[in-house]
């Protein structure tokens, strides 16, 4: 009932009977469809405006290029396989770095969550080193791991590691005590505590850590490929910067966005498969 109707009813004491006629009233437009169209339309509009403004000279074409020029640069890069090559190199570094950080992050996070002595002895070190910006230790990583692949993978790994570790530990600590009691009562071994309670119970938080970690990985890949790289999408960005090739830079940026989208999509799917019991909570 609208406010007006309500006030009218109060004033005149009229009784409004609301009747349902079985079939729901059919909307002229499908609401969900309109939203989808909107979601598609607004970025398209932005692109069109960008193109128009760059043609009119409202935006500086040397700095911001134009959608069509970027597209024209992108197509040959796609055809020659150049873009795919760099994408593959970066994706490989991200995947390896992610795994190298996430696996120990999960294992250590579970241990720290489950066992107070482990938590007590490791937490000071984690708390002390976590706030150090990962970019600040890149020179150190380069000195230790050299200029090859290892340094890039390690840079990503360390960023992912902390986020996964902290989320996993929080996930375990958030598990209701009653589940630990059940496991204990049925005589679960320490290993079975991991596999039947701590790990599955912490999975939702572990995935939250994975997603945050993936965000950081994308950030770090660009930084890692700045120094001593010969390929990769991040390298492409810096290379375009050196050559002042704005179109190429935009192509690389778009590729990075695409990489980010793919990886978060994959994580999303993995989450649905691994945590089926959480599925329809949304």
Partner 1 sequence: MVNPTEAINLENLTKVFYARKKKIVALENIDLSVREGEFLCIVGPSGCGKTTLLRILAGLEKQTWGKVIIRSKNPEKPLTSMVFQGESVFPWMTVAENVAYSLRIRGIPKNERREIADHYLKLMGLDGFADTFPHQLSGGMKQRINVARAFVSDPEILLMDEPFGALDEQNRLILQQELLKIWEGSEKTTLFITHSIDEALVLADRIIIMTAHPGRVKAIVPIDIPRPRDILSLRSSPQFGALFQEIWRLLQEEVLKAQSMELKN
Is residue 184 within the footprint of partner 1 (CB under 8 A)?
Answer: yes
Q: Which residues contact 179 (CB under 8 A, 6 or more apart)?
A: 197, 201
**Which range, of 27-35, 136-144, 160-168, 176-184, touches partner 1 by CB under 8 A?**
176-184
Angle at 213 between CA 212 and CA 219, to 5 degrees: 95
CB of 179: closest distance to partner 1 in angstroms? 6
CB of 197: closest distance to partner 1 in angstroms? 7
Is residue 116 within the footprint of partner 1 (CB under 8 A)?
Answer: no
> Which residue matches tokens 């649905």?
272
C-alpha torsion angle, residues 53, 55, 57, 62 (rounded to 10): 100
Which of 18, 178, 230, 244 touches partner 1 (CB under 8 A)?
A: 178
Q: Which two tokens stand for residue 227?
A: 């120094």
- Compute the distance between CA of residue 65 and CA of residue 88 in angstroms, rounded to an integer: 26
CB of 168: closest distance to partner 1 in angstroms? 15
**DSSP E strand stretches across the chain:** none
- Compute the distance between CA of residue 107 and CA of residue 281 in angstroms, rounded to an integer: 27
Q: At what angle do helices 246-274 and 67-79 cross, to 10 degrees?
A: 70
Please identify, using beta-carbon distances, which residue of 170 and 226 lies nearer to partner 1: 170
CB of 208: closest distance to partner 1 in angstroms? 16
C-alpha torsion angle, residues 223, 228, 231, 232 (rounded to 10): -10
Which of 185, 242, 244, 273 touches partner 1 (CB under 8 A)?
A: 185
- Among positions 253-282, residues that touch partner 1 (CB under 8 A) are 275-277, 280-281
- Note the Cα 47 to chain centre separation in Å: 24
Please identify, using beta-carbon distances, which residue of 72 and 184 lies nearer to partner 1: 184
CB of 184: closest distance to partner 1 in angstroms? 6
Largest CA distance in the chain: 85
Please identify, using beta-carbon distances, which residue of 201 and 234 lies nearer to partner 1: 201
CB of 271: closest distance to partner 1 in angstroms? 13
Q: How many residues bind partner 1 (CB under 8 A)?
A: 23
Is residue 182 within the footprint of partner 1 (CB under 8 A)?
Answer: yes
Contacts with partner 1, residue ranges (CB under 8 A): 176, 178-179, 181-189, 192, 196-197, 200-201, 203, 275-277, 280-281
């Amino acid at each position: 009932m609208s406010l007006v109707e309500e006030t009218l009813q109060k004033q005149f004491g009229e009784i409004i009977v609301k009747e349902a006629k079985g079939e729901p009233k059919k909307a002229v437009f499908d609401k969900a469809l309109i939203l989808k169209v909107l979601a598609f339309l607004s970025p398209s509009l932005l692109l069109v405006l960008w193109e128009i403004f760059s043609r009119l000279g409202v935006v500086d074409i040397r700095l911001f290029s134009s959608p069509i020029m970027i597209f024209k640069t992108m197509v040959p890069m796609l055809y020659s396989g150049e873009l795919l090559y760099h994408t593959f190199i970066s994706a490989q570094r991200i995947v390896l770095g992610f795994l190298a950080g996430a696996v120990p992050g999960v294992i250590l996070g579970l241990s720290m969550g489950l066992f107070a002595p482990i938590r007590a002895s490791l937490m000071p070190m984690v708390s002390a080193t976590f706030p150090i910006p990962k970019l600040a230790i890149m020179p150190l990583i380069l000195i230790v791991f050299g200029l090859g692949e290892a340094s890039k993978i390690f840079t990503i790994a360390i960023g992912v590691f902390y986020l996964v570790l902290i989320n996993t530990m929080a996930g375990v600590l958030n598990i209701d005590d009653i589940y630990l009691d059940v496991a204990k009562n049925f005589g679960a071994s320490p290993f079975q505590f991991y596999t039947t309670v701590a790990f599955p119970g912490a999975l939702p938080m572990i995935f939250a850590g994975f997603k945050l970690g993936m965000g950081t990985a994308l950030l770090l890949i660009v930084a890692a490929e700045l120094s001593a790289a010969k390929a990769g999408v991040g390298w492409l960005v810096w290379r375009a910067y050196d050559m002042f090739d704005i179109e190429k830079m935009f192509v690389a940026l778009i590729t990075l966005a695409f990489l980010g989208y793919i990886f978060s999509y994959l994580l999303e799917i993995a989450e649905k498969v691994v945590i089926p019991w959480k599925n329809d909570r949304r």
